[in-house]
Amino acid sequence: MIMVVDDDEPIRNSLRLLLMGEGYQVETASDGGDALKKLGIVKPKVILLDIMMTPIDGLAFLKTLKEKGLQKNYAIFVMTAMTGIVDELKEMQSKGIIRDFMIKPFVFSDRLLEEIHHIVTT
Amino acid sequence: MEDAIPISTNIYSISKDFLQFFDISPDALLIIDQTGTIIVINTQMERIFGYSQLELLGQHVEMLLPECFRKIHVSHREHFFADSRQRPMGIGLQLFGLRQDKTEFPVDISLRPLMLENKLHVIAAIRDMTAQKRAENELKSLYEQQKRYNTFLSMASHELRTPLASIQATTQMFSRNLIRLYSPILEKKKMTIEATQEGLAEMTNQITRLNRLIGDLLDISRTNDGHLSFSFSDFEIGELVRDIVNMLQKTVSTHTISIHGKGKQHIYADRDRIGQVLTNLLTNGIKYSPEAKDIEVSISRAADSVIISVRDYGIGIAREYQPHIFEQYYRLVDDEHKKYAGLGIGLYIAAEIVRRHNGKIWVESEEGKGSTFSFSLPVDKGVSV
């Protein structure tokens, strides 16, 4: 299963459909708080995470996961339009908190879809 | 006490030279004694305050202050005489003067102790700050407008980009699915077909949204340069309301829109534009009531107008924001509203359309309980376009 966390409904929905077309079960959440709540029920292997969300943003979500020691359970891909936090994201990537990040607007590369496929099927 | 200027002139026979010297100042000047009595003034005093010399000389200086400051000024004055020192202008105090016609105006004042006939007096220079304050306020409002406009521009690009990003992801899905659907070994074929079908509907939605956004952007540029065009005709408002509601209801599954009110009301108006106003109020009602499911539209008749109201049971609008929501580029940015997409121009355009029909638009709302947006349109042909 894959979880898509984005507060923009059209983006959330189109990503859900894109991944559904690839044959994955998809759960969506509208902010960090919603995602944390749903992670108590579903167990996705991959999380696609937006950063700028209200009320609970992506960074706060990551912080909570880390505090609970849960971030290792998920392969987290950050999607953001905020180029100002690239250094912070690189550091998180090197620490293994997130798997990778994409700067919006972006198109899913074949490589990324293969990587997701690999994570979900193993 | 410091800086006192010794003058030996008898104050009741001040020389002409001294008065001319006094008059050259662009600021109003006056000298008062320890009791606050006005001893000398220059012509600027008469001009700024609107009193004649005779009306001012021998009077208490407090007559030049708004009523509410008089009492405190007496104690300030006594304090100043007890410990007098020079006080320059522009030290940021909000001071006001009172003209002869009882109007108040902002002033700046500098004070300086002055020895006349061995008695301590005070000379005051008073500057009328009306023009400067007005300029400051204009600058402030321009700055506010600029700030709102910049926020609007960044919101607008975000708003335009969101449906585009969605369409981009959906077309990517289409091209991948097309290849996959032709593959003889496709697993989960049903899911792929389902996603493709849903994707088409989603894409249509997003294109409609893009269209509406661009329409709003065009409208705002037209209202700003006065070219919002109208085409008037006679029509029955109830029929328009039903058309709009039916059309919207087709794309909305979360809310049920009901229509209340009887009787046919013919109006002379721009049918499309009034439809646009109603669509805007309805989509707002739906957007800001995610937890509720009812939207009620009512048509009622007042003396010489017909009133259309749209009621929702959503998050509502705090009282302090209500007077501003029909302003250009005004968008509520508290946490409760931040999560809702929008440009902050829909209500402004709606209000502009209603105004151009000689109608009124208003809101009644309570935070957490919902809002009722209403607009009225004249039933006779009292239209100015």
Q: Could you tell me the pLDDT band of residue B14, with boundaries at 50, 70 and 90? A: low
Q: What would the mean pLDDT of B117-128 be, rounded to a whole number?
A: 91
Chain B residues near residue A1 by CB distance under 8 angstroms: none
Q: How far apart are CA B354 and CA B218, in angstroms?
A: 18
pLDDT value at A64 more than 90: yes
Count of CB atoms situated within 10 Å of the CB of B303 = 5
pLDDT value at A92 more than 80: yes
- The closest CB to that of A11, out of B166, B177, B195, belongs to B166
Query: Between chains, do A8 and B341 touch, taking CB under 8 Å as contact?
Result: yes
Chain A residues near residue B339 by CB distance under 8 angstroms: 7, 30-31, 54-55
One-character DSSP codes across B86-133:
-B-S-S---EEEE-TTS-EEEEEEEEEEEEETTEEEEEEEEEE-HHHH
User: Where is average pLDDT lowest: A19-23, A89-93, B15-19, B37-41?
Assistant: B15-19
| ipTM confidence score | 0.83
- Answer positive or negative: Cα dihedral of B314, B320, B326, B328: negative
In the block, residue with structure tokens 């200086």: B61
B324 to chain A, any CB pair closer than 8 A? The answer is: no
Residue-range definition of the domain harbouring residue A65: 2-121
Q: What would the mean pLDDT of B166-193 be, rounded to a whole number?
A: 85
Query: Between chains, do A17 and B168 touch, taking CB under 8 Å as contact?
Result: no
Query: What pLDDT score was predicted for residue B338?
Result: 65
Compute φ and ψ for B22, nearest 5 degrees. -65, -40
The better pLDDT of the pair B237, B342 is held by: B237
Query: What pLDDT score was predicted for residue B62?
Result: 95
- The closest CB to that of A55, out of B172, B209, B335, belongs to B335
Indicate which CATH number applies to the domain containing A19. 3.40.50.2300
Query: What pLDDT score was predicted for residue B5?
Result: 41
How many domains does chain A fold into?
A: 1
B167 to chain A, any CB pair closer than 8 A? The answer is: yes
Residue among B191, B193, B205, B252 with most chain A CBs within 10 A, to mutate = B191
